[in-house]
Amino acid sequence: MTQEHDSLLVVELLIENEEGLCNLYQAYAKKFPKHEEFWSGLAVEESGHADLLRELDGQIREGYLHIEPGRFRQAAIMSFIKYAQDELTRVQKEEILLITALSIALSAEQTMIERRFFEIFDTDSAELKHILHKIGMATEEHVKRVEEYWSKNR
Q: What is the pLDDT of residues 123-152, one digit of tens each?
A: 656 676 777 778 878 888 888 999 998 988
pLDDT > 90 fraction of the chain, expressed in percent and rounded: 42
Q: Look at the chain and report how many structural domains it folds into.
A: 1
pLDDT surpasses 90 at 43: yes
Per-state percent for the chain, helix, strand, coil, to nearest 5: 80, 5, 20
What's the predicted TM-score (pTM) here?
0.85
Neighbours of 93 (CB within 10 A): 8
Question: Containing domain of residue 120, as a range?
Answer: 3-152
Kindly state the average pLDDT of the residues 31-60.
90
CATH code assigned at 82: 1.20.1260
Least Cα distance to 7 among 84, 64, 83, 81 occurs for 64
Contact 50, 18 (CB under 8 A): yes
Question: What average pLDDT score do residues 70-78 get?
Answer: 74
State yes or no: pLDDT of 4 exceeds 60. Answer: no
Bridge partners, residue 67, by sequence? 121
Of 22, 30, 21, residue with least CA distance to 95: 30
Q: Which residues of 114-145 are buried (b: 16+ CB within 10 A; e: fewer)?
A: eeebbebbebeeeebeebbeebbebbeebbeb
